[in-house]
Amino acid sequence: MTDNLRNFGLIGHGASGKTSLAEAVLFSAGVTTRLGSVDEGNSVLDFEPEELKRKATICAAFHQYTWKKHTVYLTDTPGDQNFFAETRNVLQGVDAAVVVVDAVDGVKVQTEQAWDVSGQLGLPRVIFINRLDRERADFLRTVEDVAQCFEPKPVVLQLPIGAEADFKGVVDLLTQKAYTYENGKATETDIPADMADEVESRREALIEDLAEADDTLLERYLEGESLSDEEMRMALRKGTREGAFAPVICGSATRMIGVDRFMDLVNEVLPSPADRPPKEGVDPASGEPVSREPSEDAPFSGLVIKTMADPYAGKLTVFRVFSGKLSADGTVYNANKEVKERYGQLLSILGKEQKPAGEAGPGAVVAVAKLKETSTNDTLCDESAKIRFEPLPLPNPLISFAIAPKAKGDEEKIFSSLAKIIEEDPSLRLTRNQDTKETLLSGMGSVHVETAVERMKRKYGLNVVLSTPKVPYRETITKKVRVQGKHKKQTGGHGQYGDCWVVFEPLPRGAGFEFVDAIVGGVIPKTYIPAVEKGILESAQKGVLAGYPTVDFKATLDFGSFHSVDSSEMAFKIAGSLAFKKGMAEARPVLLEPIQKMEITVPDDFTGDVMGDLNSRRGRVLGMDNKGKNQVITAQVPLAEILTYASDLNSMTGGRGIYEMEFSHYDEVPAQIAQKIIEAAKSEEE
């Protein structure tokens, strides 16, 4: 039954205890026979060697459990910025988000980013304040922090009994019942006497918040009528599902405190797939908007949220079913690649294991093996009712490394191995920089790229060397000049003769290259004019200052002469090349560097340090915006100064800063820095 199905994703900052909560849930539901631990390396959800080494979630993991007649699909997501693109992808396949907040550290930048993405996707949210058994854990301070950072407002459903090492249970404000825990088992007890007043006042505030979710209830509440428990439960369900507020509960995942109450809340307040609005998409043929009802009777549609390379099953395609029903052995249509794909078994994903699934309807997350064309973010659908869902765009990479094989002759192997790794993680990019002749592997941070390289070594036995990439500088001119390019060579028999006069002048930044034929009276025959342009263009690939490509200039061919016997296309091409070299040297050439536009989000305390650091990197701060307790700094900074910015920002802010960047434009390099670059380029050439 779709009504008894739930599907949620765990989101939050790294080390807030998302995986520990998932492990506690699976253990409580009897899915596992022992409580898995991230620190001890026996978690069923963090199983990749790279995760065990770092004791952190790197890849999203899927599992499912049954609790009080409900089937629940659970997705554990990475909380580290290096792997956050994976979180964005898999959140497209859930119906709700559970935000895990550490009671010691409070809300960190990455939690806010996860909150924003879940809001963008219109997901109802529940907040679980975790690790209340830790030293310096503070429930009320964390609630304040959450209220300051998040919209819609949080409403507190529980209060903790005891604090830090003495934390032993929770009080449910709705039912006014207290639960204490021993070895993960709950016992219903009386509310501690010293908490009675606080429970009373918090309950009043809760009833007011819940009444606001329903106009009729609000009217009755304001008229002094009391609301029944059932009415309040309905208001809680309605307000959560409509995103009017986010319920806040608390506990300790590793000590199994409050975990059963959390599982009850998931069943009670989170939506079933049938409660979610129709999934919007477009008709691949016409581009017109179409949608799919979350019903088994609608045509099948699903979105691929992850691709896994399984050593035994081969490639596994994990997708969320939005409409219709799928059973084993069949054909689906890929609306992005416009191909039909045959599949065999349907598989349920249970951590690192899979087991056959008979069928899958709306809300299910399942996998199939060995699809040839399908990749992450593709839409699978019924061929007779085509639809394509628009996925979230992939973020721009933040850091690039030049990648080269350790062993000669491994170039081809590297490309094919990395292609498979990029299939699993599309936020990685492999490109070839034509200017610097380097192969670049780009990702969301240095740890992201290093992890991909570790995985390539483990899976495909390939060793590579990573190095800081060269900056793709450019050259241009700042002065208008007119020069002659003349090539004359006499040998026995046919000679070579080409003579051209060219005006070189600067163009605006980003304008590229323009060639103008201003020859009159046939002083150079029409057949030779393209050769002059070709000679200039080929020479422009290697500028006169430091051998970087020359851009943003105009070349006007206005005069010249030819020889009826000795002239040829080759002679005029050489003449054009000579004119370029002479003209560039006289036209005051300058070096240009790429400038990146950056958006850096940091807690208030670090704003001064980050601004000072940007200035020291020749950055230009364009503005600052408030976002909760963070500042968003917008700046333009030369690429040469931020090649390792991911790790620099990390150490500057203790891992609490995040940034996005994209290419903005090219700008002139200051003279003293240009001189060093030119000298370095010359000595490298020698």
Contact 405, 463 (CB under 8 A): yes
Q: Give percent above pLDDT 90 in the chain.
A: 81
Q: How confident is the model at residue 389 (pLDDT cuts 50, 70, 90)?
A: very high
Please return the burial class of 477, using the count of CB atoms within 10 Å of its CB with bins 0-12, 13-18 and 19+.
buried
Q: Is the pLDDT of residue 218 over 70?
A: yes
pTM, full prediction: 0.89
Instruction: Tell me, yes or no, whether 325 lies in a domain.
Output: yes
Range of the domain at 511: 475-587
Helix, strand, coil content of the chain in percent (nearest 5): 30, 35, 35
Q: Where would I find the beta strands (DSSP E) of 110-252?
A: 125-130, 153-156, 158-161, 169-172, 177-182, 185-189, 245-250
- Given a cut of 90, is residue 51 above it in pLDDT? no
Tell me, yes or no, whether 392 lies in a domain.
no
Q: Could you report the per-residue pLDDT of 649-665, keeping only the tens digit for each? A: 988 988 788 899 999 99
User: Are residues 549 and 644 both part of a single domain?
Assistant: no
- Residue of higher predicted confidence among 294 and 352: 294
Q: Are residues 541 and 580 in the same domain?
A: yes
Residue 250, Cβ density class (10 Å: 0-12 exposed, 13-18 middle, ≥19 buried): buried
What is the band of 311 on the pLDDT scale with cuts at 50, 70, 90?
low
Residue 118: inside a domain: yes
The reply to whether 483 falls in a domain is yes
pLDDT tens digits, one per residue of 623-652: 999 987 789 999 999 999 999 898 899 889
Average pLDDT over residues 452-470: 91
Determine how many CB atoms are found less than 10 A away from the CB of residue 200.
Answer: 12
In a domain, 677, yes or no: yes
Q: What is the CATH number of the domain that holds 675?
A: 3.30.70.240
Work out the pLDDT band at 437, boundaries 50, 70, 90: confident
Q: What is the pLDDT of residues 263-291, one digit of tens each?
A: 999 999 999 999 999 999 999 999 999 99
- Domain CATH code at residue 429: 3.30.70.870
Q: Report how far apart the first and last C-alpha atoms of the chain are (Å, whole number).
A: 74
Backbone angles phi, psi at 88, to 5 degrees: -55, -45
Place of tokens 């208030």: 604
| pLDDT classification of 407: cutoffs 50, 70, 90 | confident
CATH number for the domain harbouring residue 267: 3.40.50.300
pLDDT at 310 over 70: no
Based on the fold, state whether residues 342 and 364 are members of the same structural domain: yes
The verdict on 339 and 487 lying in the same domain is: no
pLDDT at 221: 85
Joined tokens for residue 49: 């060697």
Same-domain pairing of 263 and 296: no
pLDDT at 504: 98
Query: What's the distance, CA 147 to chain centroid?
Result: 26
Residues 55 and 192 in one domain: yes
User: Which of 530, 561, 587 is where one domain is finished?
Assistant: 587
- Residue 575 within a domain: yes
Pairing of strands 279-282, 158-161: unpaired
- 193 — pLDDT class (breaks 50, 70, 90): very high
Classify 525 as helix, strand or coil.
coil
The answer to whether the bond into 362 is cis (omega within 30° of 0) is no
Co-location of 40 and 105 in the same domain: yes
Report the phi/psi class of residue 377: left, alpha or beta, with left for phi > 0 and alpha for psi in -120 to 50. Answer: left
Same domain flag for 446 and 489 = no
- Decide: 508 and 540 in contact? Cβ < 8 Å: no
**What is the structure's pLDDT at 154?**
95
Q: Quote the pLDDT of residue 313.
A: 63
Tens of pLDDT, residue by residue over 88-137, are: 999 999 999 999 999 999 998 889 999 999 999 999 999 999 999 999 99
Residue 389 lies in a domain: no
pLDDT at position 312 over 70: no
- Asked if residue 51 and residue 10 are part of one domain, the reply reads yes
Burial class (CB in 10 A: 0-12, 13-18, 19+), 333: buried
Q: What is the pLDDT of residue 656?
A: 82
| Residue 29 included in any domain | yes
- Out of 432, 467, 502, a domain closes at 467
φ, ψ dihedrals at 37, nearest 5°: -130, 135
Q: How far apart are CA 679 and CA 593, in angstroms?
A: 16
Helices (H), 162-278: 196-211, 215-222, 229-241, 259-269
**Domains: count for the chain:** 5
Tokens (6 digits) for 614: 């940007």
At 214, list the tokens.
């329903």
Q: Do residue 447 and residue 518 come from a single domain?
A: no
Given 274, 290, 313, the domain boundary residue is 274
Mean pLDDT of 303-322: 88
DSSP helix/strand/coil, 12: coil
Strand order in the sheet with 185-189: 158-161, 169-172, 177-182, 185-189
| 524 and 574, same domain (yes or no) | yes
90, 238: one domain: yes
Give residue 448's pLDDT: 94
Which of 209-213, 283-287, 294-298 shows the lowest mean pLDDT across its residues?
Answer: 209-213
Share the mean pLDDT of the chain: 94
Does the pLDDT value for residue 520 go beyond 70? yes
Residues 6 or more apart in contact with residue 381 via CB below 8 angstroms: 299, 300, 301, 302, 332, 333, 335, 387, 388
Residue with tokens 């059963």: 260
H or E, element range at 538: helix 529-540
Assign 628 to helix, strand or coil: coil
